């Protein structure tokens, strides 16, 4: 889940992975109560959505960028994000869908927000709208700066895996709403 200035952070390994999982589960325990996703074990209405923590990820490809973009979400400026379909395919993750929950991490990989996906559109890079660029809340919020920044970001990301940028590449344009923050 990323945008030209965001991206899915790789998971840590070993003991750090266990500590990270515990942090996420503590956050989820608090968040799910606040958003009415709490259930007593064994109840008829209980689902994995109420008991299993959602996917956790951070914006950007660096701790500083993760914190910068998280700040835009916290202050209400950023309500959308974007990622290449190819990135979801590369890591074997499904595309986001309306109603999905996610835990957003800060640059230190601490869980900070619970968000819900409110809309998903998949369009070629060259067809991303000015409205979407504005909702991402970055730079001057224009389509021109969105395209420039995202192309630069995705060229960097694609080069790392031996791929090339193409303006017809499909982009997942995701909108979200903050449900809980710590």
- Sequential pLDDT tens for the chain (182 residues): 445 444 443 343 344 788 989 999 999 989 988 887 765 444 445 554 556 889 999 998 899 999 999 999 999 999 999 999 999 999 999 999 999 999 999 999 999 999 999 999 999 999 999 999 999 999 999 999 999 999 999 999 999 999 999 999 999 999 999 999 98
Structural domains of the chain ordered from first start: 15-181 (3.10.400.10)
End-to-end CA distance of the chain: 20
**Which token pair is 29?**
């325990």
Nearest to 87 by CA among 150, 22, 38, 14: 150
- Four-residue CA torsion sign, 128, 131, 136, 140: positive
- Widest CA span of the chain, in angstroms? 52
Inter-residue contact 74 to 119 (CB < 8 Å): no
For 3, counting Cβ atoms within 10 Å of its Cβ (0-12 exposed, 13-18 middle, 19+ buried), the class is buried
pLDDT for the residue numbered 16: 73
Nearest to 27 by CA among 106, 100, 90: 106
DSSP assignment letter at 168? T
């Amino acid at each position: 889940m990323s945008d030209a200035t965001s991206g899915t952070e790789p998971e840590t390994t070993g003991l750090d992975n266990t500590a990270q999982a515990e942090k996420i589960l503590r956050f989820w325990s608090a968040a799910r109560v606040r958003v009415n996703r709490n259930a007593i074990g064994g109840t008829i209405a209980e689902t994995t959505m109420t008991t299993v923590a959602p996917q956790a990820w951070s914006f950007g490809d660096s701790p500083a960028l993760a914190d910068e973009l998280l700040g835009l979400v916290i202050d209400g400026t950023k309500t959308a994000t974007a990622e290449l379909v190819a990135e979801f395919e590369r890591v074997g993750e499904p595309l986001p869908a309306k109603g999905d929950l996610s835990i957003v991490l800060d640059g230190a990989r601490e869980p900070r927000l619970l968000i819900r996906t409110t809309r998903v559109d998949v369009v070629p890079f060259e067809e991303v709208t000015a409205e979407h660029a504005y909702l991402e809340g970055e730079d001057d919020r224009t389509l021109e700066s969105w395209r420039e920044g995202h192309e630069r970001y995705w060229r960097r990301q694609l080069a790392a895996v031996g791929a090339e940028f193409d303006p017809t590449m499909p982009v997942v344009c995701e909108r979200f709403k903050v449900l809980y923050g710590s």
